[in-house]
Amino acid sequence: MNRVAFAALLSYWRCHPVQLAALVVGLALATALWSGVQAINSEARASYAAAARAIGGDDRPTLFPIQGQSIPVETYVSLRRAGWLVSPVIEGRLEVGGERFRLIGVDLVTAPPPALDADALETDVDASDTLGTPGRLFAPRDLAGRLTQSDLPPVVVAPELPAGIVLADVGVVTRLLDREASLDRLIVLPDQPLGRPPLEEIAPELEQRAPGSQEEVARLTDSFHLNLTAFGFLSFAVGLFIVHGAIGLAFEERRSTFRTLRALGLPLKRLVSLLAVELFAFAILSGGLGMLLGSIIAAALLPDVAATLEGLYGATVDESLSLRPAWWAAGLAIAVVGTSLAGAGAMWKVANLPALAAAQPRAWARASERTLWLQAGAALALIAFSGALAIAGSGLVAGFTLLGSLLLACALLLPLWLSVCLHLGRQMASGPISEWFWADTLQQLPGLRLAMMALLLALATNIGVGTMVQSFRLTFTGWLDQRLAAELYVEAEDAQQAEDLVAWLQPRSEAVLPIWSSELRLFGAPARVYGVVDHQTYRENWPLLAFLPGVWDRVEAGEGVLINEQLSRRENLSPGDPIRIDLWETRVAGIYSDYGNPSGQVIVGINELTRFDNLDRRDFGIRTEAPAELERALREDFGLASDQIVDQDALKRMSQEIFERTFSVTAALSVLTLGIAAVAMLTSLLTLANLRLPQLAPVWALGLTRKRLGLLELARSLLLAVLTFAAAVPVGLLLAWVLLTVVNVEAFGWQLPMYVFPSDWLTLGALSLISVALAGLWPAIRIATRPAADLIKVFAHER
Amino acid sequence: MNVRAIFALVCLLIFSPGSVGAQGFAGLGSETEGFALPEPNPEFIFPADHGAHPDFRIEWWYVTANLEGPDGEPYGIQWTLFRTAVRPDEAESWSSPQVWFAHAAATTRTGHYVTERYARGGIGQAGVTAAPFSAWIDEWEMSGESVASVRLTAGSSQFAYDLSLEAQGPIVFQGEGGYSVKSDEGQASYYYSQPHYSVAGTLTLPEEGEIAVTGSAWLDREWSSQPLSERQTGWDWFSLHFDSGEKMMGYLMRQTDALPYAVSTWIDREGVATLLPVGALSAEPVEHTSVAGRKVPTTWRLQLPERELDIEVAALNPFAWNDTTFAYWEGPVFADGSHAGRGYLEMTGYE
């Protein structure tokens, strides 16, 4: 009996392949983008986690110097000798054949497991060879092949090491980096002995940070991943609109089948179970399909994401995608959950169905006006909620929640907007056809409601994200012009060459501007201090957002410093506020914008730079009238290597490349969302086409040709698209505003002015009209070419 | 397992080459090359020889103590500092080939607490100086004016001890004047002991808290460069303090193709040591205990006809398994029979 009943239920789909396609495609698309984004996120997070593990500090507290950068080996030994079980880590960059690798040194003897899994190494390693000279380098497989410089220690392939990391004994790394025997941080090991004295007694110059606080990469990149997740969720929601429509219609149309089955003695419970099984099967099937699509999307986007993360945050992400079992499970689960959400209402109706209820597909499609007002009420509630969130909430998640609820509210209001417009149109209509057109469109609205909401979401997202990216691009380009005022930038090999360089350049250029810096920790996070000389270049060009009067004189006199916008927002510092940098108590004289950099930055007068350790004095900016000639002279006469000089244009180009990459993923995702919305439109129109025959047949019988009817159908789709687009523009601008003033500030620490680009909207509007036209074309053609017999049948079959 | 486990394997090699060969960790069997080798008829120079001998491959400072609380409750502690050189050359700072590791344990009737430490040579995290004497790794140390009077400390997150050890007799040379032969193929080490320590101090345990303890301790000093013979799979080693004031050290090197290679030294009340002929000591397991998935003999019958010794030696806690990177059994024992007393038993190579 189960089999027969199930076959009867399934036979519906055989007769309605378009609805079946709508259901499968909707679910697959919903799952695809969502799971694609999740695959990217989990790949990136796995890379961070592996990196943290390799450093040996995944979940361990760590000791850092409060000031300065390094910890003397003696401090490490005195901690150990006081009963503090800690293990040292040093870190640096290794340059091989023009490529830079992250080199991490751990004490292979005291490092906490699993620093390196000796069993997983590809070749047997003698313990005695890993220490001392030459030692061994451990690297993941893809890196090992590239570390072929002859003066490097032999490389051992360690497949479990994270991407981009070369590991070796602390002694080997100290030698390779050619640095004094000192350490960067100390990992606190588990199971510390009884009676251990407090840290202040042994090493007051160190501070202990809780596990995770050193995972700055993970913290910084969170915003980026949340961004991706938000997009994945958005397209999931759009996909669900499609599914909801397809399921609701299919259930409504099968009422007569349900009735027959019930009349034949199929218990209600059994019927509901069979329908649940059917939906579950669809969810698994389409979910699986979506996962395949998702993995393709993820594989296609991952290189860009990896490049962005590397460029923006210095985080290395494995570019090859590995799909974890948890990802498959989560993806299929979300497909099932989505299907249940989309089908819950329909299932509930069936469960409460009187055995002999008649099928009412038209009634279903023509949901009552009450729904409109219910939706509007929900929208108002959501708007109130976002208002409350905007006032009380803080943080990135709140920002995205605000964004989500605003978008949803706008989507819910859309049917009301369309209905109002159509009513107006109807009032202005003259002539029977025109009146019929408006009335019929109005009557169709409930059926197309979900598709139009999906379109609105997609369009608004595109406008919003487009506006954000463009505003950012404009601001960023202007800022680059200001900031990169020197014509040439050079980096000397060492202090001696730097001195010679300055002496050589003095008579040959307008000005030589040192860009000297020191890395230190500020408010517990890594930051960089730059020293600048007093020069017109800065006074004229440097992009200041807020400053005290005579700001450059103050900086020059050592009475104040400049800080970047990120630091000022994070620590809530304004011009005039006191600030302590290392041991120096001074004041904030000004705040400058500093895009593309997640860390804090400080600019001090060059004379004050001597207060800090580990000065890097090798970088200079050069002002000159003839950059090309000077560059050639530097290379040929002075003998600088070509990678030591970079001109302004090249630097701008590089910066802009990083910028473009950062948003290429976002752009790709918003286009994909638009595609999904077009599919939603297509499937809704197709599913409605059959239902509409009883409406069209009388009009045809009154003398309207099928061709005319088809054209009117197309015009109706375009009209709805235009109205939706008109609504999408303000919604998109609202979205952009929230992105720029709330989300970006939380995510990156900078606020950007908003610029609008109406020409972009026109393009997008044209694009959406084309996609809607394409989506509406097929149903229109079907109507135009419908055999007359079909239309006559309507009268014969009239219920 | 991390790279540290590689070092454990280096150590295992010295403890028991058979098992290392079985794990395919090749290449170290013949590497005594470049290291100094023990020679017969050694002349020890003190206090210098209490210090480290970096030109030898492996060396240890091994203290075991039988203690009792104010109520007569017996306890035992172990303190061992190992030095191993991964290469014969010496170098500074991180380049030093010396790797140190240490084990500390405390044993009660029902509990056994053990912990281990690792350290790099060359940076001062671990080391030994002869005068004034100090052997240390991290915060653990055995230090004093001389070896005759030292403070011994160690601990973990569970237990700790702080003991003072005072030598009540002379140093005793094991083997032929300190040249101790380990097999009939000639593997040997330098080996001397200080078995005459009296002990007083405190022992801190997780359940019992801080306990004032007194007792006797035994220091073994041994260094060598040679692994055991391929045929030897492990050893059973006894150090016993008899109530009569006499002491005995005995070990059996278990061999795959022959009876155990049994060596014993008898120390009389005045501290005069006599090396007994190979095979004079016989030791037979009486009872086994299943511990850490292995069957380990924890009660033994020891016979030494030349000293009219016929005793049963039983573990205070048969579960005294040192679950360290390389694992072995080590714990306090009590002797009963012709001679009553107490001491320590160490058993390695039980797989």
Q: 3-state secondary structure string, A339-406?
A: HHHHHHHHHHHHHCCCCCCCCCHHHHHCCCHHHHHHHHHHHHHHHHHHHHHHHHCCCHHHHHHHHHHH
Calculate how close chain A gets to B97, using CA atoms only, in Å.
7
Q: What is the pLDDT confidence band of residue A743, given thresholds at 50, 70 and 90?
A: confident
CB A372 within 8 A of CB A415: yes
B115 contact residues in A (CB cutoff 8 A): 191, 193
Calculate how close chain A gets to B160, using CA atoms only, in Å.
7
A114 contact residues in B (CB cutoff 8 A): 1-2
Q: What is the pLDDT confidence band of residue B282, given thresholds at 50, 70 and 90?
A: very high
Most confident of B96-100, B155-159, B229-233: B155-159
Q: Which chain A residue is nearest to residue B27, measuring alpha carbons? A: A126
**Whether A195 and B120 lie within 8 Å, measured CB to CB:** no
Q: Which of A83, A118, A124 lies at the smallest CB-CB distance from B1?
A: A118
Residues 575-604 (A) with a CB less than 8 A from some CB of B? none
Q: Which of A485-494, A543-552, B276-285 has the lowest mean pLDDT?
A: A485-494
Nearest to B117 by CA among B136, B102, B104: B102
Calculate how close chain A gets to B272, using CA atoms only, in Å.
38
Q: Which of A73, A109, A191 lies at the smallest CB-CB distance from B99?
A: A109
pLDDT score at A54 = 55
Cα Rg of chain A (Å, integer)? 33
**Residue B118 touches chain A, beta carbons under 8 Å:** yes
Report the predicted TM-score, pTM, of the whole model to 2 decimal places.
0.59
Q: Which of B5, B27, B156 lies at the smallest CB-CB distance from A126?
A: B27
pLDDT score at B341 = 96
Higher pLDDT, A323 or A767: A767
**Whether B1 and A119 lie within 8 Å, measured CB to CB:** yes
For residue A539, what are its two tokens? 């006074």
Distance (Å, whole) CA B38 – CA B33: 13
Distance (Å, whole) CA A621 – CA A484: 9
Q: With b meaning 16 or more CB within 10 Å and e meaning fewer, what string describes B218-242?
A: bbbbbbbbbbbbebbbbbbbbbbbb
Whether pLDDT at B302 is above 80: yes
What is the average pLDDT across B11-32?
35
Tens digits of per-residue pLDDT, B51-79?
999 999 889 999 999 999 999 999 999 99
Q: Which of B120, B137, B225, B325 is best to mutate for the A interface (most A CBs within 10 A)?
A: B120
Q: What is the pLDDT confidence band of residue A636, given thresholds at 50, 70 and 90?
A: confident
**Whether A113 and B4 lie within 8 Å, measured CB to CB:** yes
What is the average pLDDT across A333-339?
86
Three-class secondary structure of residue A582 per DSSP: coil
pLDDT score at A523 = 77
H-run or E-run covering B321 = strand B321-322
Size of interface A-B (CB pairs under 8 A): 120
What is the average pLDDT across B279-284?
94
Calculate how close chain A gets to B8, using CA atoms only, in Å.
9
**Residue B149 touches chain A, beta carbons under 8 Å:** no
Whether pLDDT at A791 is above 60: yes
B139 contact residues in A (CB cutoff 8 A): 80-83, 193
Tens digits of per-residue pLDDT, A343-375?
887 788 777 766 666 656 556 555 556 777 888
A136 contact residues in B (CB cutoff 8 A): none
Q: Is A212 left (phi over 0), alpha (psi -120 to 50) or beta?
A: left
Calculate how close chain B gets to A272, using CA atoms only, in Å.
54
Whether pLDDT at B28 is above 60: no
Residues 76-115 (A) with a CB less than 8 A from some CB of B? 76-77, 80-83, 85, 107-115
A80 contact residues in B (CB cutoff 8 A): 119, 125, 138-139
Whether pLDDT at B213 is above 50: yes
Calculate how close chain B gets to A91, using CA atoms only, in Å.
15
CB-based contacts of A178, cutoff 8 Å, min separation 6:
none
Q: Rounded to 5 degrees, what angle do the CA atoms B59, B65, B66 make?
A: 150
Q: How much helix, strand and coil, in percent to the nearest 5, is found in chain A?
A: 65, 15, 25
Nearest to A250 by CA among A112, A164, A166, A343: A343
**Whether A114 and B7 lie within 8 Å, measured CB to CB:** no
Q: Which chain B residue is nearest to residue A138, measuring alpha carbons? A: B3
Report the number of secondary-structure helices (H) and strands (E) in chain B.
2, 23
pLDDT score at B27 = 30
Q: What is the pLDDT confidence band of residue B250, given thresholds at 50, 70 and 90?
A: very high
Whether pLDDT at B178 is above 90: yes
Mean pLDDT of chain B: 87
Tens digits of per-residue pLDDT, A2-40?
788 888 888 888 887 877 887 888 888 888 888 888 888
Distance (Å, whole) CA B78 – CA A507: 75
Calculate how close chain A gets to B159, using CA atoms only, in Å.
7
**Whether A125 and B158 lie within 8 Å, measured CB to CB:** no
Whether pLDDT at A244 is above 60: yes
Tens digits of per-residue pLDDT, B124-166?
999 999 989 999 999 999 999 999 999 999 999 999 999 999 9
pLDDT score at A46 = 75
Calculate how close chain B gets to A286, using CA atoms only, in Å.
43
Calculate how close chain B gets to A95, using CA atoms only, in Å.
23
CB-based contacts of A439, cutoff 8 Å, min separation 6:
A426
Calculate how close chain A gets to B243, using CA atoms only, in Å.
35
Q: Which of A107-116, A262-271, B53-62 has the lowest mean pLDDT?
A: A107-116
Q: Which chain A residue is nearest to residue B95, measuring alpha carbons? A: A132
pLDDT score at A118 = 61
Whether pLDDT at A141 is above 60: yes
B5 contact residues in A (CB cutoff 8 A): 118
Q: Which of A90, A128, A191, A202 is best to mutate for the B interface (most B CBs within 10 A)?
A: A128
Within 10 angstroms of residue A356's Cβ, the number of other Cβ atoms is 8
Q: What is the pLDDT confidence band of residue A646, given thresholds at 50, 70 and 90?
A: confident
Q: Which of A267-281, A676-690, B272-286 has the lowest mean pLDDT?
A: A676-690
Nearest to A37 by CA among A163, A226, A215, A319: A226
**Whether A194 and B93 lie within 8 Å, measured CB to CB:** no
Q: What is the pLDDT confidence band of residue A219, given thresholds at 50, 70 and 90?
A: low
**Whether A109 and B119 lie within 8 Å, measured CB to CB:** yes
Within 10 angstroms of residue A706's Cβ, the number of other Cβ atoms is 18
A195 contact residues in B (CB cutoff 8 A): 155, 160
Whether pLDDT at A116 is above 70: no
**Residue B25 touches chain A, beta carbons under 8 Å:** yes
Calculate how close chain A gets to B298, using CA atoms only, in Å.
30
pLDDT score at B42 = 92
CB B165 within 8 A of CB B133: no
Residues 114-133 (A) with a CB less than 8 A from some CB of B? 114-119, 124-128, 130-133
Higher pLDDT, B48 or A683: B48
**Residue B21 touches chain A, beta carbons under 8 Å:** no
Tens digits of per-residue pLDDT, A64-98?
887 666 889 999 999 999 999 999 988 877 777 76
Cα Rg of chain B (Å, integer)? 19
Q: Is A20 exposed, middle or buried (0-12, 13-18, 19+ CB in 10 A)?
A: middle
Q: Which of A77, A171, A194 lies at the smallest CB-CB distance from B160?
A: A194
Q: Which chain B residue is nearest to residue A109, measuring alpha carbons? A: B4
DSSP per-residue string spanning A71-126: EEHHHHHHHHHTT--EEEEEEEEEEETTEEEEEEEE-TTTPPTTS--GGG-SS---
**Residues above pLDDT 70, as percent of chain A:** 88
Tens digits of per-residue pLDDT, A388-430?
887 777 777 788 788 888 888 998 899 889 989 988 988 888 8
- In sequence order, the β-bridge partners of residue A188 are A86
Q: What is the dihedral of CA A696, A700, A702, A708, to 10 degrees?
A: 110
Whether pLDDT at A214 is above 50: no
Q: Which chain A residue is nearest to residue B87, measuring alpha carbons? A: A128
Tens digits of per-residue pLDDT, A586-603?
889 999 888 766 678 898
